[in-house]
Chain A
């Protein structure tokens, strides 16, 4: 961790600790007020607990031009970004965090090309729907490792995070508390339930919270769709394509729509928000990630709409390319935030459990 980032976050946390006006906004302040001194681990935990709702910034009487120059959302965002790099595994990929946009663009081109070429070269003699273009075996050969290896990388990262922040024993009730908090985006409600500050300075709205919910639940529905397909395939011998009223489509279509709309909305309000209240250097990478995730949803929907047209020949590699890029970069892109956030919420739940 860069010590200047930690020192700046520490300087600000000490001012916040002497003020305490923001105690009601989110989980960060009660956690902050429990400490008298802030170690690197403490600050890393606070940083990952912060949802960047910005309530504290706009309420702060000490922001620039005041000489105390407080901007806690930014200070924590920079520590947070740095902490993901610090805990990235394998280490060699950590730098991808700084080049998310380039990595995603390059990943898209490469994976599209790879899948297109493979699909052409190994085109099955028979098969229905997508399987007419690409065999089930080839898809599994590509996606099983592309899904499992990033999860393994994240597991190693989170273990390191838990050690850094001094996480101790935790229970299932802590996980449940964290899931509830994330599920409702409680920390984007602003304490008063009016939402957070983002796209219009100090105005409280639920825009960011609802859009993020759309992305979260859209993603989970898409994931459930794929999982249900896997289950039907292996468990029941029912192979794709599935009809509109089949489970994979019932889950996947609304999921794709939510994911697409949510990402488009998040990208749009991100252009309205003040980039200086986040890790400004990470802005491009975050935007690229939102657009990539939105493309996963959008290309999936378009692909479905194009079923049984010749466009499937290039739409299928395009969709699978976005998914593959997304999976491979998960441990080294903004997507990692969800996993660290859950870890931070679990730790906070364990710390406040009575």
Chain B
């Protein structure tokens, strides 16, 4: 089957939908090829919850203002300067006009969620979360005549010189192809392909959990990189955080987070501590802990808290393991009981005056003479019952992607591919070299999705 179409969009998440809506509004005939079945449509956008947005005054749910420079500075802090500042500023500057655009196209926002008040100024939260955003965009796109095919797995893009001439995919068990005038790739990273992760990271990656969609296998990314499309981002790196070790292998999403580390001690398989649990507030440390766990035997850690700390954090989706004694807790969790007792005793002995304990700020209540130290919230683990959680590395996204210019255009051999654009996670490495800033992925997807849609439609018309 070869049908002349204006635009084929590969992927069905936020960036793909923003591109589809923009292109359809420009009069283009658009076909979305989404590899997931309908209930799982939307890629990692399903799991998102907010949009980081620049604004010069109160805007929608956002209070006060958030300037371009402050936003850029926040980004530089987390990426350590590994950022294409030109593209980053483009994304940030455009974010302000995106928020009203999102509302016009069906997205609804809500006041900052409980426990995230610190983001009320910078991040606009989707009412109902990312899946509700995805639902609204599908409604809008379909009303504009965008065709959507689910369970359509793209296998190959045929490159002839500086042009993509054919999109091959399978659907309903048969091989099919389309030859559109323009192609937009918005099919995410490769984190769900654990073999690829293991090749990039090492065999330890087999023990990682994937926080998002199982459908981001990087098939199209690999196919394009093999054909010499220009790449960007460290191929060996992924963004990973510490999550509940009992989370499902894929798709656990937000509920697998564990906020209790600052109020705990964390030990490895041998019941030994390995890092300062109280280094900073958790939102600034969960990514570091993803890496720390990856370096531990079996890539697993165990959080131990006592009764007095249990109510200081948002409950996890899995109830903690509970025991009246540390030894019993160790047995239940598969830790050597004597070692755990010794580690806790040593830790407790190093705790000092805890009267200044303050759960929501850096309180300086620290251990003394302990290696590694705990520099904040260090209170002895003494009050039964004791509670334990296991921790594992949860991969959020990968950095390797397609390099794009300010028009979301892809290139090869130093020249643009005439009819190929990329948007969303698959090109986010063009902007985010390392680290992550909450809500910035949706900013990149929305801004570059709209750009790609506009450019692809202009090319087709």
Contact = CB atoms under 8 A, between A and B. Distances in A.
A18 B319 CA distance: 11
A61 interface: yes
B203 interface: no
Given A62-B253, A67-B248, A21 B128 contact: yes
A72 to B, nearest CB: 12
A61 B135 contact: no
B115 interface: yes
B438 to A, nearest CB: 14
Contacts, number: 91
Interface of B: 39-40, 46-47, 49, 108, 110-111, 113-115, 126-132, 135, 139, 248, 251, 253-257, 311, 314-317, 319
A145 interface: no
Given A56-B128, A59-B129, 19 more contacts: A15-B255, A18-B257, A18-B314, A19-B253, A20-B314, A21-B126, A21-B128, A24-B128, A30-B114, A59-B132, A60-B131, A61-B47, A61-B129, A61-B253, A67-B248, A191-B127, A192-B127, A202-B135, A203-B139
A65 B317 CA distance: 18
Interface string A26-63: 00001001001000000000000000000110111111
A164 interface: no
Nearest to A197: B135
A277 B222 CA distance: 41
Given A24-B110, A33-B114, A62-B253, A15 B131 contact: no
Given A14-B315, A203-B139, A65 B129 contact: no
A18 B254 contact: yes
Contacts of A191: 108, 110, 127
A59 B39 contact: no
Nearest to B37: A65
A175 to B, nearest CB: 27
- Most chain B CB within 10 A, of A17, A21, A66, A190, is at A21
Chain A to chain B: the 10 pairs with minimum beta-carbon distance, closest first: A59-B128, A21-B129, A24-B110, A59-B132, A18-B255, A192-B108, A18-B317, A202-B135, A61-B46, A24-B127
A232 interface: no
A266 to B, nearest CB: 24
Contact of A25 (B47, B128, B314, B317): B128
A169 interface: no
Given A21-B254, A67-B248, A55 B314 contact: no
Nearest to A58: B135
Contacts of B46: 61
B16 to A, nearest CB: 17
Given A19-B254, A23-B110, A24-B110, A36 B129 contact: no
A64 interface: yes
B313 to A, nearest CB: 10
A62 B139 contact: no
A62 B255 contact: yes
Contacts of A55: 128, 132
A27 to B, nearest CB: 14
B134 to A, nearest CB: 9
Nearest to B128: A59
Contact of B132 (A15, A58, A64): A58
A22 interface: yes
Nearest to A35: B315
B117 to A, nearest CB: 12
A53 B256 CA distance: 26
B49 to A, nearest CB: 6
Contacts of A36: 311, 315
A63 B39 contact: yes
A239 interface: no
Candidate in B40, B47, B135, B256 with the most chain A CB atoms within 10 angstroms:
B135
A228 B111 CA distance: 46
A194 interface: yes
Given A23-B113, A192-B108, A15 B39 contact: no
A193 B409 CA distance: 39
A253 to B, nearest CB: 39
A24 B129 contact: no
